[in-house]
Amino acid sequence: MKQITGGVCAAQGFKAAGIHCGIRKNQSKRDLALIVSDCPASAAAVYTTNLVKGAPLLVTKAHLADGKAQAILCNSGNANTCNADGPQIAEEMCRLAAGPLGITPEDVVVASTGVIGQPLDLTPIAAGMAPLVADLSYANSLHAAMAIMTTDTLAKEVAVEFTLGGKTCHLGGIAKGSGMIHPNMATMLVFLTTDAAISSQMLHKALSTDVQSTFNMVSVDGDTSTNDMVAILANGLAGNTPVTEENQDFTVFIKALNTVTMQLCRMLAGDGEGATRLLECRVRGAADLATARTVAKAVICSSLVKAAMFGADANWGRVLCAIGYSGATVDVQKVDVSFASEAGRTAVCKDGAGIPFSEEYAKEILLKNEIEIQVDLHAGEAESTAWGCDLTYDYVKINGDYRT
């Protein structure tokens, strides 16, 4: 497994593009992204569990019923959600892209992100399609990654190289956060591409398994978005024997996928709205996986823990409090808590009670950009990690005045 560059263009036969078409007022912000495979690809996606679902998700779900797709079209600046004409608009977006690409609209995955409940005007998208298609290139992942950003401060791209049956394969992705991030069975917008040959059934199995331990363990603000989606295209151009069952190749593929998604999770959490710190809560010693996940997520979601981390305050009582109300069955008298970062590690709580520690050293640890909150439940072997970020003035600023 080797880290490589290239994002969604790392895999053979994938072009990408991203332009400013005019949905967003700020002309320096790209707002329309396109990812295209040279040939039809196996495709799978997972979606938000929010009952309010963006129109693009409904259209994409219908288009992926046959397990095939060839392009992904995504705009930022408007979520096309809670609009009476949303589904028609999303269908029309697919038609606008399919025409110049010479494919059928049903092979287009469509996504939108931005404000909810404002009509999405097709005019700039229609006018932008020609320059968007002209921008397509095998080295343009970054343009696409930029065009799907909303309040993100960094474009997010990852890719790896791996081997299936002697053939070199690639898998890469782009992602956007950075608020309304609390996925449940699916996530924010993440688009993945691979040149590995794999059936759409196995692709869906790989993706839906992977999100349980990756994107579903990320929370920026506890709000599960209406438009969350992770989609993956696999065009098979690597020439490997197609993966059609749970064999060793499938295990390798899962590992490649997990390597990419895990890094995207860290990027998403670390670039959460207003964040100054990436928080990683590592729970071990849990009686079972569900308990480990529940505890890790409760800690990451606690407003008080998040605010304490912003203040580099080793207020471990809030960690214990979050574990206590998480709903998980935990013997709180056995819980140990430590804080760690590249500056070191300090234990702060043992057997559910405080222990002496140096506040100065703890501060030094917590002033770093990536913080680990380590929890040991001493009740078993299960482990889980959740990712989040601190709660800052800028989160309030960004969300107190988002639409204007």
Tell me if 176 contacts a second copy by CB under 8 A: no
Tell me if 397 contacts a second copy by CB under 8 A: yes
Tell me if 50 contacts a second copy by CB under 8 A: yes
Residue 146 near residue 18 (C-beta atoms within 8 A): yes
What number of other Cβ atoms are within 10 A of residue 319's Cβ?
27
Listed residue (381, 401, 380, 399) closest to 391, CA to CA: 399
Tell me if 360 contacts a second copy by CB under 8 A: no
- Name the segment binding a second copy (CB under 8 A); options: 38-46, 248-256, 285-293, 391-399: 391-399
- Reduce the DSSP state of residue 336 to 3 states and report it: strand
CA distance readout (Å), 180 to 88, 188, 310, 356, 358: 25, 8, 19, 38, 36
Tell me if 345 contacts a second copy by CB under 8 A: no
Percent helix, percent strand, percent coil in the chain, to nearest 5: 35, 30, 35
State the DSSP H helix or E strand holding residue 69, giving kind and residue range, or none if neither. Answer: strand 68-78
- Name the segment binding a second copy (CB under 8 A); options: 42-50, 199-207, 231-239, 257-265: 42-50
Among the listed residues 40, 100, 117, 165, the single contact to a second copy using CB under 8 A? 117
Tell me if 391 contacts a second copy by CB under 8 A: yes
Per residue in 359-393, is it b (16+ CB within 10 Å) or e — as a string?
Answer: eeebeebbebeebbbbbbbebeebbbbbbbbbbbe
Tell me if 187 contacts a second copy by CB under 8 A: no
CA–CA separation, 112 and 18 (whole Å) = 14
Tell me if 358 contacts a second copy by CB under 8 A: no
- Name the segment binding a second copy (CB under 8 A); options: 13-21, 143-151, 161-169, 219-227: 219-227
**Closest distance of CB 290 from a second copy, Å:** 16
Tell me if 313 contacts a second copy by CB under 8 A: yes
Query: Which residues are the active-site residues?
Result: 187
Tell me if 121 contacts a second copy by CB under 8 A: no
Which position has the token pair 């100065």? 360
Instruction: Give the footprint of a second copy on this chain (CB under 8 A).
Output: 48-53, 79, 81-84, 115-119, 179-180, 182, 184, 221-226, 301-304, 307-308, 310-311, 313, 315-318, 320-325, 330, 332, 349, 352-354, 391-393, 395-404
